[in-house]
Amino acid sequence: MISLFDILIVAAVLGFAYWGWLEGLERASVAGLELFGCITFAVIFHETLAGFLFAGAELVVGEWASQAWSVLLAFALLAWGSFALLRWQLHGGPADDEEDEAAIDPLADRLGGAVAGGFGGAVLVGGGLVTLSMVPFLAGLKPGDTLLLDVGKMTLRAAGAFAGGWEEGRSVPLWGEPPSRASVASALLTSEPWFDADDDGSCTEADRYRDVDDSGTFTPSLYFEDLDRDGLRRIGLVDKYAAGRWDGELFSQDRPRPKPKAVATPAAGSKPTPGAKPTPGRKPAPSPKPEKPTVPENQAKPIPPGTKAEPAAGDGPETEPAGPAPERLPGDDF
């Protein structure tokens, strides 16, 4: 959806392109490059200057010192103050004599000037949007990530590329540390950076946040790669610009990863729980061996088939013990 900011951005870029058409290639390109250099200088050193300004303000006004205003003042001085000083010192006098300049086709000079003017206009409007995002109030006027032609983010990305701090092909000061997956063991846990505008302790529709993982909603549990290995997710310049907050009020809820739940190992001989699924890769517990049946003392042992049973002691009718055999006499055979 096209917003009022998009219309104003296009109008400003076209207006500066027309200015470049009138001024020519040299003047338009010099002005655009000077402005881009000043904004780059401010992006790199505004945090350092803001720290000194905040420390001085604390000495003067004590607890009334504001970190947000220190950041805004530092960026404005380095970007817009240095640009105004540069233009005044280098281009404030009368125009130089151009008789000795090499001849250039007037049409090519105007076309080149229009392109350079459009570039300078985009940098100028982009720097204005970055400055607007630093204002501690005016939250409703900050476009954030809603622009179709976000020259503010383009300018910040181009200038922040010179901020250094490259880790694995990514500028950590510019982009912050990237999101990761919960399955990565080295990933740490935090939340997306957000600003508690209504002071209710939770991120609601009234609060501003940076959609790091492009999910469209606030992610309270965000896993990220700790590229600088400090245990915390660094909030990048793009995160601050999108959330519209550049001080300590924009924060992430860094916390330890939850410990994985331990899987209970069933004891040997225990019966499995009905409906429980076996754990993959785990051998089932051996079943207990069946006990041998015990035979009571007064019960006869089973006799295998095909064998003759011997009477047990005390079984059957009682018989008198046999005496010695009678002496055999001659003639008994007849």
pLDDT above 70 covers a percentage of the chain that reads 74
Q: Where are the beta strands (DSSP E) in the chain?
A: 166-167, 170-171, 188-190, 194-195, 208-209, 222-224, 250-251
If asked whether residues 130 and 213 sit together in one domain, one would say no
Q: Which of 72-81, 196-205, 260-269 has the highest mean pLDDT?
A: 72-81
Report d(CA 8, CA 21) in Å as an integer: 20
Q: For residue 139, give the DSSP letter.
A: G
Query: What is the average per-residue pLDDT within 51-65?
Result: 92
If asked whether residues 152 and 175 sit together in one domain, one would say no
Are the beta carbons of 64 and 119 closer than 8 angstroms? no
What residues make up the domain containing 203? 165-259
If asked whether residues 29 and 129 sit together in one domain, one would say yes
Are the beta carbons of 180 and 224 closer than 8 angstroms? yes
Query: Residue 327: inside a domain, yes or no?
Result: no
If asked whether residues 18 and 144 sit together in one domain, one would say yes
pLDDT above 90 covers a percentage of the chain that reads 46
If asked whether residues 169 and 236 sit together in one domain, one would say yes
Separation in Å, CA 9 to CA 12, 14, 101, 178, 189: 5, 9, 35, 30, 38
Residue 139: partners with Cβ closer than 8 Å, 6 or more residues away? 197, 208, 244
Query: Residue 16: inside a domain, yes or no?
Result: yes
Query: What is the average per-residue pLDDT within 183-193?
Result: 92
Query: What is the average per-residue pLDDT within 242-270?
Result: 79
User: In the predicted model, is pLDDT for residue 29 greater than 70?
Assistant: yes
DSSP code per residue over 255-287:
BPPPPPPPPPPPPTTPPPPTTPPPPTT-PPPPP
**Choice among 78-82, 202-206, 318-322 with the minimum mean pLDDT:** 318-322
Are the beta carbons of 219 and 192 closer than 8 angstroms? yes
Query: Residue 154: inside a domain, yes or no?
Result: yes
If asked whether residues 35 and 137 sit together in one domain, one would say yes
If asked whether residues 150 and 66 sit together in one domain, one would say yes
If asked whether residues 141 and 64 sit together in one domain, one would say yes
SS3 category, 38: helix
Q: Which of 106-120, 261-275, 278-292 has the highest mean pLDDT?
A: 106-120
Query: Residue 139: inside a domain, yes or no?
Result: yes
Count the alpha carbons within 13 Å of 205 in the hemisphere toward its beta carbon: 0
How many Cβ atoms sit within 10 Å of the Cβ of residue 143? 20
State pLDDT tens for residues 196-238: 887 888 888 888 889 999 888 999 999 999 988 888 999 999 9
What total number of domains does the chain contain? Answer: 2
User: In the predicted model, is pLDDT for residue 63 greater than 70?
Assistant: yes
Given this model, what pLDDT does residue 149 score?
A: 87
Q: Report which of residues 30 and 321 the model is more confident about.
A: 30
Its pTM stands at 0.73
If asked whether residues 57 and 143 sit together in one domain, one would say yes
